[in-house]
Amino acid sequence: MSLGLELACVLLILGTARAMIPIQCGSPAHVARKVCCPIFWGDGSPCGSASGRGRCQDIMGETPKERAERAREHRNTRDFRLWWPTYFFRHLCVCQGHFGGVDCGECAYGWQGAKCQVKHIVIRRDISTLSLAEQRLFVHRLHLAKTTLSQRYVIYASSSPVPYSPLVFHRATVYDVASYLHHTASKNIGSTDSNFGHRGTAFLSWHRLHCIHLENEIRNMTGDQSFSLPYWSWPGKTHCDVCTNNLFGASLPNGQLSSLSIFSSWRKFCDEVGNQPSGFHQVCSPLLGGPIIRHNHNRELPTWADVRSCLQLQAFDTYPYDTTALNSFRNMLEGNIDPQNPSRIKRSMHNLVHIYCGGTLEFSNTAANDPLFAPLHATGDKLFEMWLRRHPGTHYPTGNVPFGHRARDKVVTFIPIYENWEMMKSCQEFGYDYDDME
């Protein structure tokens, strides 16, 4: 993939609306044309069309009538997520076969080789089972991602709230791009209590793709195609056994991480200081925020009995497909209903882990800044995969699912694009599996 098309203006940090944009398309001209179909270096054609790798296609995905109705419903808003990704690009590369990437110049998740014909699957392992050397290597690579500018994506920003203002593009590190994605998806939709990554049917789809994205970006940064995210197996634990200085950092009495931890130097990206948690006048503060805070509250963590009850639920999700959905696997795993009584609302599972850790992890708009975020969510993804294997033939709901969480809605903030339903496939389709799946 060509990485040389960087713009001198990317260092200007002002803005209203921001999104993860392929660095090859980081110019006002691309956005004005609504086209992001980069040239594949291997054959000199857009999307590698000359080699049969892909084509530049209109990805609108809805009728003019549907778009007009949505525009009326959400008029007077700067929330670009409502039109993702067509707020920026109507034409993107659509790759063929096992090719992938923004320009179809790499392999799709789970494939490798010159012609992307070799299946490639890595195993995500319990971090407690890794050797000390393997743990240190993972910690080093996570820190490297936090300190290395992404060569693949920029963050789009308008230089002024005034319409038709010039566009600029903000550079961010590999890890901060991933943090930004979660921060942006976590903002509420208007005055509602819902957003695009939580409190709805797409919760597991969004976080599955987020883990895949970070895993893949670290592979590209290091060149190590065998890299995989380990997971923190939090069920049944009585404390945060990975909150040590050789792993994710021990907490001081004030919640800050010990100076003996490499993560004590981390600063939050898209911190809410001076920012609007639900606003789009400034989506992400241009200044780095405070340090990572983790309190490890004296509260219970989910039990294995909770996990077993969760995996036994038959319905993936139920009406009204939000935090009040009862007898819903998705809503129980997300942490909104009681595992021992799925007809009762109660804080549990994934949400309970965030609350237990506290601090940066306690709030969805800052949670992804904590280095523990990805291993925490990899465990949720493992439980998602275990449920899928216990309930073969399950399909993504197609009923009256809220906008943004519907089956054919694009997973917000990601390019290349995926639809929510696609994340219901086996994780092996995306090039990874888990150890100890019994």
Domains of the chain: 13-434 (1.10.1280.10)
pLDDT band at residue 10 using 50, 70 and 90 as cut-offs: very low
Statement: residue 159 has pLDDT above 50:
no
Segment 212-238, tens digit of pLDDT: 999 999 999 999 999 999 999 999 999
pLDDT band at residue 281 using 50, 70 and 90 as cut-offs: low
Share of the chain above pLDDT 90, in %: 73
Statement: residue 324 has pLDDT above 70:
yes
365 CB-near residues (< 8 Å, 6+ apart): 183, 186, 187, 270, 272, 277
The angle at the Cα of 197, spanning 193 to 199, to the nearest 5 degrees, equals 45
Tokens of 412: 């917000």
Q: What is the mean pLDDT of the chain?
A: 88
Q: What is the mean pLDDT of residues 292-305?
A: 91
Alpha carbons 427 and 425: distance in angstroms, whole number: 6
Q: What is the pLDDT of residue 3?
A: 32
Q: What is the mean pLDDT of residues 359-384?
A: 96
Statement: residue 156 has pLDDT above 90:
no
The angle at the Cα of 362, spanning 360 to 397, to the nearest 5 degrees, equals 125
Residue (of 280, 249, 235) closest to 369 by Cα position: 249
Statement: residue 274 has pLDDT above 60:
no
Q: What is the pLDDT of residue 63?
A: 67
Q: What is the pLDDT of residue 18?
A: 35
In this structure, of 73-77, 144-148, 188-192, 260-264, the range with the lowest mean pLDDT score is 73-77
Segment 375-403, tens digit of pLDDT: 999 999 999 999 999 999 999 999 899 98
Q: What is the pLDDT of residue 170?
A: 81
pLDDT band at residue 190 using 50, 70 and 90 as cut-offs: confident
